[in-house]
Structure 1
Amino acid sequence: MKKILLWLLCISSLTISAQKDFQGKAIYQSKTKMNMDFGNRQMSEEQKKRIEQRMKSFSERIYILSFNTTESLYKEEERLGAPTGQREGRFQSMMSSFSNGVQYKNVKEKELLESKEFFGKKFLIEEKLETPKWEMTGETKQIGQYTCLKATIVKSIDDVAFRRFRPRRKGNNEEKKEQSSETKKEVTVTAWYTPQIPVSNGPGEYGGLPGLILEVNAGRTTILCSEIVLNPSEKQEIKKPTKGKKVTREEYDKIAKKKMEEMREMFQRRRGGNGRGRGRF
């Protein structure tokens, strides 16, 4: 098996390197399992189903990765459709603030740029593209027509974004305990990559392997490639995003956390009838 995979890698590398204008496009489906614990809140089954449906539309998304041998653009596929009412509109507006923008990677220059719009304000996140220390397991499996190898890494992820919007219905001790747990936690990320497409890239921030990553499992999120087109007839120019206030990842996370806290307080005031407020960046 190792000899076969090495042969595939060599043949694919020679084929792609011989193509000066090589480009590809991969379609990924991302699904995140949401915590549907409604606590002690009294809700009818119809209300629960309606909330679950809203959360499902947010947690299941489709992304497009356009790539060449060194660069890539990763963005969410545009979806048509409008909210059906005022409540739905407010909910969708809040949820859309967490949507990923356009992400640019240059594996040769070790550059990562991400353009995001957060509550109407544009940001351009700049950071160095780190090479993850993947651990190769030697396991293989077939994804479509591609033979894939398994690699794992332990990574810190933030799994608390949605908790910040939950109403504070608990006692002080419970609330403090929850707030103290709002830190990044470590999870084992599993990636399946194929040497048949020898580009060191993948969905989102994932990459750094000797082949395109076709599947990622990280915590509650699974990202799976559903379609690959190599050398499409319509080429896409891969350009760096340039619009937005330039910030580091740490600066952006602080801004986002502060804004989410403001939004939760605002929703609480509206629910309690104490007036309406609006936070600022």
Structure 2
Amino acid sequence: MKQLLGVLLAFLCSNSIVAQDFQGIATYKTQRKLDVKLDSTQMNSEMHQRMVAMLKKQFEKTYILNFNKEASIYKEDEKLEAPQNAGMQMVFVSTDGSDILYRNTKENRFTSQNEVFGKIFLIKDTLEKEDWTLENETKNIGDYTCYKATKKRMVAIVESTISVNGDTDLDEEQEEGPQMKEVTITAWYTPQIPVNSGPARYYGLPGLILEVHDDQETIICSRVVLNPKSKVAINEPTKGKEVTQEKYEEIIEKRMQEERERYRPERNSDDGERIEIRIGG
């Protein structure tokens, strides 16, 4: 209890000495655990290894979070991507992620810009309440003293099976609904940076979140720059078809079903290989 009181006092003191134009830039690295099963009827072990290597690279990314006291914007660090192998498509679909995520905690809302299947969506909705439990455990991340926080959430159980041409068991899942499981999310935040922001969809703690462990994914902050000489740009995205989060999920589910029908082997035997990877959220 004393330690938690210390966290709150540190946060309040930091808030009293930080100017209203306090801002910063945080760099995050992401990794995802991979336990991908091989469907031996569709690919050999060499192809399986290539797919796992491509998946690993896909999930090892760098993101930049620009933040101030009231808002933030989170997006992937721009870089030139290597082209995919000729005749092969890898499609990654997640209703839980964002290409660009703008969050305004003062106004309790977010805007997420996503490009899926060649179409840009602008998801606008209210922020969900983050029901964190503040723990007594601490550790150092770089120069910052961080405190532990946890919360529970339900996620869909998705088989990590690589399949070719969309020939999966997702049609059966579509009819019965996905199985769910409860996972514990662990975050490490520092009151030394008094903003309630963090990477991806994580926010709502009395200090910047520097590290997150979310079942399969790990997000770690590698660099923080506070009050840089140049003003930090936090521009809300405006391009795309405007929808709510619920409507966006409905659209993606429908489009996924259409894509699976389109790429069934018996209907499109000459279209090359298409690898569909679905990320649960």
Query: How far does the alpha carbon of each residue in 1:141-162 deviate from its partner, in whole angstroms, 9 at most, with x for none?
Result: 1111111111111113345397
* Higher helix residue share: 1
Counterpart of 2:92 in structure 1 is 95
Letter in 2 for 1:95: F
State the SS of the aligned residue for 1:124: strand
State the SS of the aligned residue for 2:198: coil
TM-score, scaled relative to structure 2: 0.83
- Indicate whether 1:21 and 2:17 are aligned: no
What is the aligned-residue RMSD (CA, Å)? 3.0
CA contact (8 A) 1:112 1:127 kept: yes
Paired residues, number: 268
Greater displacement, 228-237 / 213-222: 228-237
State the structure with bigger RCO (CA 8 A, min sep 6), 1 or 2: 2
- Indicate whether 1:132 and 2:133 are aligned: no
User: Unaligned regions of 5+ residues in structure 2, if any?
Assistant: 273-281
Counterpart of 2:278 in structure 1 is none
CA contact (8 A) 1:34 1:59 kept: no
Give, in whole Å, the separation in 1 of the partners of 2:68 and 2:270.
54
CA contact (8 A) 1:165 1:261 kept: no
* Higher strand residue share: 2
What is the deviation of 1:140?
Answer: 0.8
Counterpart of 2:34 in structure 1 is 34
Give, in whole Å, the separation in 1 of the partners of 2:157 and 2:251.
17
CA contact (8 A) 2:199 2:209 kept: yes
Q: Among the aligned pairs, what percent are the same residue?
A: 40
Counterpart of 1:145 in structure 2 is 143
User: Unaligned regions of 5+ residues in structure 1, if any?
Assistant: 277-281
What is the deviation of 1:182?
Answer: 1.8
What is the deviation of 1:236?
Answer: 2.6
Distance 1:251 1:183, change over 3 A: farther
Give, in whole Å, the separation in 1 of the partners of 2:221 and 2:188.
10
Counterpart of 2:261 in structure 1 is 265
Which one of 183, 193, 196 corresponds to residue 197 of structure 1? 193
CA contact (8 A) 1:65 1:203 kept: yes
State the SS of the aligned residue for 1:253: helix
Give, in whole Å, the separation in 1 of the partners of 2:128 and 2:154.
14
Give, in whole Å, the separation in 2 of the partners of 1:270 and 1:82.
30
Distance 1:271 1:60, change over 3 A: farther
TM-score, scaled relative to structure 1: 0.83
